[in-house]
Homo-oligomer: A and B are copies of this chain.
Amino acid sequence: MDEEFMKEVIEEAKKTKGEYKTPYAALIVRNGKIITKVHNEIKKNLDPTCHAEINAIRKACQILKTTDLSGCTLYATCEPCSMCFTAAWWANIPKIVYGASIEDATKGNRRQIEITTKTLNEQSGNKIEIKRNVLRKECIKLFERLL
C-alpha cells in the first residue's frame, strides 16, 4: 500500500514543469484515502516555507478543518527537512513514508540542511514511525530531471 501511494507522489512531482519543476512532492493519506497531493511551491509563491510537506499539512488541515492530523500518514518523495518533520510533529502525524534521503538529495546537487529525521525523531521522543527508502531509486531519478 505504501508503494502505491509513493507512486502517486512521484507522479505529482513529475507533473511540475519549466521554472516550477521540482523533485519534491507530498501526500497526506487518511483511512487509505488521499486527502492532499501537492508539490513544492517556493518559486511559485515566493515563499521559502512552501516545501511540499508544509503545503500538504496546511492544505489537509483546511480540508479536514482541524490542526490535528493524528489519523494521517505523510508521504514524500524526499526525507523531510527539520522544518517539515517538525510541522508533522506539531500536527500529530504518526507516520512518515519517504523515498530518497537528505543525503541522496545533497548528492543530487540539492541544497539541504543536513539533519536527518532519525536524529530529529530521537531528539523529540520518537513519536513518529518513519518508513525509509520506499521507491528510493525512482525518487532519486527526480533530481536528474532538474539537470
Contact = CB atoms under 8 A, between A and B. Distances in A.
A27 to B, nearest CB: 17
A86 B90 contact: no
A143 interface: no
Contacts of A43: 67
A75 interface: no
B86 A67 contact: no
Interface of chain A, main secondary structure = helix
Nearest to A119: B123
Identical subunits present: 2
Given A49-B54, A54-B49, A82-B82, A113 B87 contact: no
A46 interface: yes
Interface in A88-143: 89-91, 113-115, 119-120, 123-124
A85 interface: yes
Interface stretch (A8-16, A18-26, A31-39, A56-64): A56-64
A146 interface: no
Contact of A83 (B46, B66, B83): B83
